[in-house]
Amino acid sequence: MPNYQVIDKRGIPFNGQTLKLGQTFIQPAHGAQVRAWLRFQQIREVKPVEPKQTASGTTATPPAQKPVVDVSDAARKLAEEHSIDLATIKGTGSDGTIIKADVEAAIEAAKN
């Protein structure tokens, strides 16, 4: 069963709680909800990382994953409409947020 990680800075509501940015979870029984989150680029599939044994025989903890940048709602919607992968865009908004202008530039670059 695949694992997923929340990449939406706002988190996502699920069963009366909020799954927070960076939180990893196993696919719940609600497969349609997971597909919607994937489509709207609110989560991403991640491979589970197995702890590795060190030379001393202890278990090493896996490194933390790189934080994900925020995406404005308008940019997310426009990227979805044009099938643009937000992971390929460098955000120019505050704190590296991907804004609508960034997606518009990616659409223009794809045309050329």
Residue 99 has pLDDT above 50, yes or no: yes
Give yes or no for a contact between 77 and 16, defined as CB atoms under 8 angstroms apart: no
Residue 50 has pLDDT above 80, yes or no: no
4-16 confidence digits (pLDDT tens): 778 888 888 877 7
- Number of structural domains (the chain) is 2
Reduced to 3 states (helix: H, G, I; strand: E, B; else coil), residue 17 is strand
Q: What is the pLDDT of residue 59?
A: 60
Query: By 3-state DSSP, what share of the chain in percent is helix, strand and coil, each rounded to 5?
Result: 30, 20, 45
Select the more confidently predicted residue: 5 or 67.
5
Residue 105 has pLDDT above 90, yes or no: yes
pTM to 2 decimal places: 0.45
Which residues form the domain of 6?
Answer: 1-48
Q: What is the CATH number of the domain that holds 73?
A: 4.10.320.10
Do residues 40 and 75 share a domain?
no
Do residues 42 and 75 share a domain?
no
Do residues 40 and 1 share a domain?
yes
**What is the mean pLDDT of the segment spanning 84-102?**
87
Residue 59 resides in a domain: no
Q: What is the pLDDT of residue 66?
A: 47
Q: What is the pLDDT of residue 55?
A: 63
Residue 76 resides in a domain: yes
Residue 24 resides in a domain: yes
Do residues 76 and 37 share a domain?
no
